[in-house]
Amino acid sequence: MNNNHVFVTAEIGINHNGDLNIAKKLIDAAVVAGCDAVKFQKRTVDKVYTKEYLDGPRQSPWGTTQREQKEGLEFGEKEYDEIDRYCKEKGIEWFASAWDVDSQLFLRKYNLKYNKVASAMLVRDDLLEEIASEKRYTFIGTGMSTLDEIDHAVEIFKKHDCPFELMHCNSTYPMPKEDANLNLIHTLAEKYGCKVGYSGHEAGILISALAVAMGATSIERHITLDKTMYGSDQKASIEPYELCELVKNIRDTEKIMGDGKKVLSPAEEETKKKLRG
């Protein structure tokens, strides 16, 4: 990864609503915007949720139970084979956050460049051990986590000598702007001596752009074709036009921040000659 380049991930997650065509449209939106990668979520439904929960009621486009809703949102091998092919065709990286060990083993067949630890999974030692053992560059979400819990996760990745980047995150959907606490980016970077990105769930794009000015080395945002679509993550997502604007703002911010050295530009030298003689 380029040290001066903020890595931008468009989190498709489950916003495809189980429809491969929607997933492809979201991949297209990420490509047009200039994102570095798209990300999905992978679950083995019976491993992540209890039978009691899955048998519970839930109205959805797929039925009346939690199981029907969860399985309706889940892509399998056929879909991920096509996602892998399509992303290669479009020239964009893809990866996924696994919510159980079986899902991580499933993803391994695609030889992905990156891994992601979802904030909800930060305390799952079995999953962290499996991910860290692969030694792929891993983005670690820190939403809902205490510093002690982050300490423990970092120890696992250091034990395996697995490269990682923490991601400051507030796990509310959508996140109120007053909860952004972007100063935590500095806190995490100083405490752990690593890169720190920002995974946002707020409305709009201002906070994510400001995170880059605060030193975030990566940005991840949920994307959607339409915030009014069915799904728990849609309202905390940004639409394609916002994604394009966000990536432009991030690239502009990279230039605006500069390198911190006091150097006169050629244009300023000319002004100096005119004003100082």
Residue 190 C-alpha from the chain's centroid: 22
Whether the predicted pLDDT of 1 surpasses 60? no
Q: What is the pTM of this model?
A: 0.94
d(CA 40, CA 74): 10
Q: Is residue 117 part of a domain?
A: yes
Helix (H) or strand (E) holding 116: strand 114-117
Q: How many Cα atoms occupy the beta-carbon half-sphere of 235 within 13 Å?
A: 7
Q: What share of the chain is helix, strand, coil (3-state, %, to 5)?
A: 45, 20, 35
Q: Is residue 2 part of a domain?
A: no
pLDDT digits (tens, 9 = 90+) for 159-214: 999 999 999 999 998 899 999 999 999 999 999 999 999 999 999 999 999 999 99
Q: Is residue 128 part of a domain?
A: yes
Q: Is residue 153 part of a domain?
A: yes
Q: Which residues, 6 or more positions from 84, have their beta carbon under 8 angstroms from its beta carbon?
A: 94, 110
Q: Is residue 17 part of a domain?
A: yes
d(CA 6, CA 210): 12
Q: Which residues, 6 or more positions from 228, have their beta carbon under 8 angstroms from its beta carbon?
A: 234
The domain spanning residue 213 has which CATH number? 3.20.20.70
CB atoms within 10 A of CB 61: 13
Q: Are 33 and 60 in contact (CB under 8 A)?
A: no
The structural domain count of the chain equals 1
Q: Is residue 225 part of a domain?
A: yes
Whether the predicted pLDDT of 4 surpasses 90? no
pLDDT digits (tens, 9 = 90+) for 241-266: 999 999 999 999 999 998 889 999 99
Residue range(s) defining the domain that contains residue 26: 7-276
Q: Is residue 1 part of a domain?
A: no
CB atoms within 10 A of CB 60: 16
pLDDT (0 to 100) of residue 2: 54
**Token pair in block for residue 6:** 């903020």
